A = this chain, B = another copy of it.
């Protein structure tokens, strides 16, 4: 048995954690660029808390609030320019996966003036990233605790692409489940399905260890039962405890993909987001039942262990995902399938799946799901 663990983020979760954590922010520098999307950082209350905490710590700051869903490289380059102009000593990303991933990319770009898109994606840049702190406001991405940042390369292919930073963890992550209280039903479900997909993909995974299993099974259990309980509810009736459970599960799920990576639900679902504007979690969920059934067939012992740990069998889990999935039906031509399968055929997403999941099987999955 072989087992690695590395998750160097200082994680501070709880009501009021941002205000009470001002001293931790003060250790990162005296000048900060805040990176957010257009609305959620404000609407959640996280931005106000962050500004107050920075003031408490005597830190000067400016706000860059132009990060979109599936953040663009061009946006990150503009933000990095702003960071350089204000001589930012650290970056504070606030929001869901998009501003958090963008903050990571901006930290690298600001520390390496002149670095361009190809350089960013390639990795091996000269200077380490500026310190990055983040405040999560959704219960899905897990970006708070992963080394990954997925940035859409709008200056070249238009595809979503991970930047290559093996040690790209943030320094400090705050999570306050209150920030998720105002999220809509659809958004709550989609982000929870993202977290569920992370945990399931990292559980049925060639790199899984007892340690990642512990986090993954806890996350799968908590998300699955919470999703079952909130299905069809008015979002105002989702309790504080349920919001908290979903937030913590998203962090656990992030910790497992930091070690085991995501698998083919993520890869083969990208086109639904890129071309059909399907929210990321829903895009993953479209693929998830296939992934669960295939994995359970190839490793029935692991499926049994999952059933025992979460109190729900794999088929019930699939049915739950199917009932919650709300994505427009999409079809792909043979050429598109070949392109999708080819794009990921050498990726880690395929390699960590059980068996020998490669080009041919990817085409078969796409045909089954999107063959029209």
Q: Which residue of B lies closest to A21 (CB)?
A: B4
* B-binding segment of A12-20, A30-38, A230-238, A324-332: A12-20
Distance between A318 CB and nearest chain B CB, rounded to angstroms = 26
- Of the candidates B2, B6, B7, which one forms a contact with A15 in the assembled complex, judged by CB atoms under 8 Å apart? B2
**A4→B12 CA distance, assembly (Å):** 5
Task: Give the distance in Å from the alpha carbon of A3 to the alpha carbon of B12 in the complex.
Answer: 6
How far, in Å, is A323 (CB) from chain B's closest CB? 28
Q: How many angstroms between the C-alpha atoms of A215 and B13 in the bound complex?
A: 18
Decide if A11 is an interface residue (CB 8 Å cutoff).
yes
Q: Does A10 contact B (CB under 8 A)?
A: yes
Q: Which residues of B contact A7 (CB under 8 A)?
A: 7-8
Convert A230-254 into 0s and 1s, putting 1 for each residue whose CB lies closer than 8 angstroms to a CB of B. Answer: 0000000000000010001000000
Q: With A214-B214, A248-B210 in contact, is A3–B13 under 8 Å at CB?
A: yes
Contact A13/B4 with A210-B248, A214-B214, A218-B214 known, Cβ cut-off 8 Å: yes
Q: Is the CB of A2 within 8 A of B6?
A: no
Q: B3 contacts A14, CB within 8 Å?
A: yes
CB pair B1–A11 under 8 Å, yes or no, is no
Closest partner residue, chain B, to A14 (CB atom): B2
The CA-CA distance from A210 to B9 in the complex, in Å, is: 18
Contact across chains for B2 and A11 when beta carbons are under 8 A apart: no
Q: Per-residue 0/1 for A188-226: is the Cβ within 8 Å of any B Cβ (1 yes, 0 no)?
A: 000000000000000000000011001100100000000
Binding site for B on A (CB under 8 A): 1-15, 17, 210-211, 214-215, 218, 244, 248
